[in-house]
Amino acid sequence: MTEPDPQRVIPFRVIFVCTGNICRSPMAEVVFRDIAEKQGLGDRIISTSAGTGDWHVGEQADSRTIDALARRGYDGSRHRARQFTAESFAQNDLVVALDRSHERILRQWAHDESEEGKVTLLLSFEHHPTLLDVPDPYYADARMFDDVLGMIESASHGLFRQLEPAIRPSAPRV
């Protein structure tokens, strides 16, 4: 039996959740992963996404999502939709809902206060007093996908700023 490695980093796991996991949550997953990597914390944060429904399981993100991400320098081409499950609570440290309907569903699916306490709204990290929901661009045009991506980028930076102090390794004491 080997000894546990004290230097081994256990990553903080964040899952972003929307309806079908083809528009908003894949954007958030990709953006948040990019932020972590650019800040040198890609090995300390795992960013994934899922949908509350199973309509698109196994499919790529919506082409307009992939295009909007590409226009801003992100790669969303490898995404495959999946559904949030009961195990998703145990597998993640933070469950980020893209709108209040997802937040309600996720809180209903939680088995206990610990799981329910993991659920938060993405826009709660954006200091916008009246907007709580990232709008669903599915029935809109490409411009709406760009607008939604901008909202997700801004709120994801706020989320990262909130998490970073707990995730960044401490400087060695001299």
User: Does the active-site annotation cover 18?
Assistant: yes
One-letter-per-residue 3-state SS of 33-47: HHHHHHCCCCCCEEE
Is residue 137 within 8 A of residue 144, CB to CB? The reply is yes
Taking alpha carbons only, the member of 69, 56, 47, 33 closest to residue 148 is: 69
Instruction: Give every CB contact of residue 81 below 8 A, 6+ residues apart in sequence.
Output: 20, 21, 22, 26, 51, 56, 57, 58, 59, 60, 61
The crossing angle, in degrees rounded to 10, of helices 142-167 and 63-71 is 70
Q: Active-site residue among 18, 34, 44, 62?
A: 18
User: Does the active-site annotation cover 168?
Assistant: no
Q: Active-site residue among 54, 93, 136, 146?
A: 136
Q: Active-site residue among 23, 24, 34, 82?
A: 24
User: Does the active-site annotation cover 147?
Assistant: no
CA 156/CA 167 separation, integer angstroms: 15
Taking alpha carbons only, the member of 75, 14, 16 closest to residue 45 is: 14
| Residues labelled catalytic | 18, 24, 136
